[in-house]
Amino acid sequence: MGIQISPSILAADFANLEAAAKSVPSADWLHVDVMDNHFVPNLTLGVPVVAALARVAEQPLDCHLMIEDPDRWAPAYVEAGASSVTFHVEACAAPVRLARELRSLGSRAGMALKPATAIEPFADLLPELDMVLIMTVEPGFGGQQFLEMCLRKIERTKAMLADTDGDVWLQIDGGVSSETIERCAAAGADVFVTGSAVFGADGPDGMIKHLRDLAETNAG
């Protein structure tokens, strides 16, 4: 799989999510940020909104669960229509069991790490996953500044994935823009979440094409 762009609807108009989805036909995915006001200090949306979006969006839904107890709640997002469900390992009691459950329900399974969480302790469970998400801001809000310290972790994760059976994608999320995407692509990321850079642009779909070009030109 090559470079993929997953625009985050967190930066779109919540009063018209259907229009937001239709404004980015070039997107490979729609990134849906689920926040519960416990794992992160912000509250966004849940299963009913994901189900509604799944009915109108052409793109598959990439759900990023910033919630406590994903072991209990994540499977419902597959049932609501998500094609990829990513849980935070910091909040998960049994990541192998949850990844297997998500896959058995027909979804891709992703595991996310906050900036201060190291990837190395999870080397042995990488084959259980379809994607690792390295957060490049502290989760909770869009529009934050990219954390340069995360580039080393992207590089180390890429090297670990090269030694892993299967095709595990490496996603990054937070502060991804035309200023930062080239460095992230060179470090080895292949799935790019981008909220404010896309939905804050005059032409969201044109911005996706621009970001994809930059990433493809610099892919590591």
From 48-56, 62-70, 118-126, 206-214, span contacting Zn ion (CB under 5 A): 62-70
Q: Please check whether residue 138 is in contact with residue 114, taking contact to mean a CB–CB distance below 8 angstroms.
A: yes
> Closest separation between CB of residue 6 and Zn ion, Å?
9
Is 71 one of the catalytic residues? Answer: no
Give the CA radius of gyration of the chain.
16
Torsion-angle region of 69 (φ positive above 0: left; ψ -120 to 50: alpha; else: beta): left
Q: Report how far Cα 105 is from the mean position of its chain's Cα atoms.
A: 19
Binding mask 15-34 for Zn ion (x = CB under 5 A): ------------------x-
- In order, the DSSP letters of 58-91 are SSPEEEEEE-S-HHHHHHHHHHTT-SEEEEEGGG
Q: Which is nearer to ligand DX5, 64 or 212 (CB)?
A: 64
- Segment 164-168 long-range contacts (CB within 8 Å, at least 24 positions apart): 164/126, 164/127, 165/127, 166/127, 166/130, 167/1, 167/130, 168/126, 168/127, 168/129, 168/130, 168/131, 168/132
- Give me the least distance between CB of 64 and Zn ion, in Å please: 4
Kindly state the smallest distance separating residue 124's Cβ from ligand DX5, in Å. 26
Of 164 and 182, CB closest to ligand DX5: 182
Q: CA 109, CA 22: separation in Å to the nearest integer?
A: 25
Work out how close the CB of 1 gets to Zn ion at its nearest, in angstroms, rounded to a whole number: 19
Which single residue brings its beta carbon nearest to ligand DX5? 195
* Least spacing, CB of residue 167 vs ligand DX5, in Å: 23
Give residues 162-201 in contact with Zn ion (rule: CB under 5 A): 173
Residue 102 forms beta bridges with which residues?
none
H or E segment at 173?
strand 169-173
Q: Which of 17, 29, 57, 64 binds Zn ion (CB under 5 A)?
A: 64
Which positions touch ligand DX5 (CB under 6 A)? 8, 10-11, 31, 33, 64, 137, 139-144, 173-176, 193-197
Is 13 annotated in the active site? no
d(CA 183, CA 102): 31
Catalytic residue, from 28, 36, 173, 190: name it. Answer: 173
Selecting among 33, 62, 130, 190, the annotated active-site residue is 33
Catalog residues that contact Zn ion under the rule CB under 5 A: 33, 64, 173
Active site residues: 33, 173
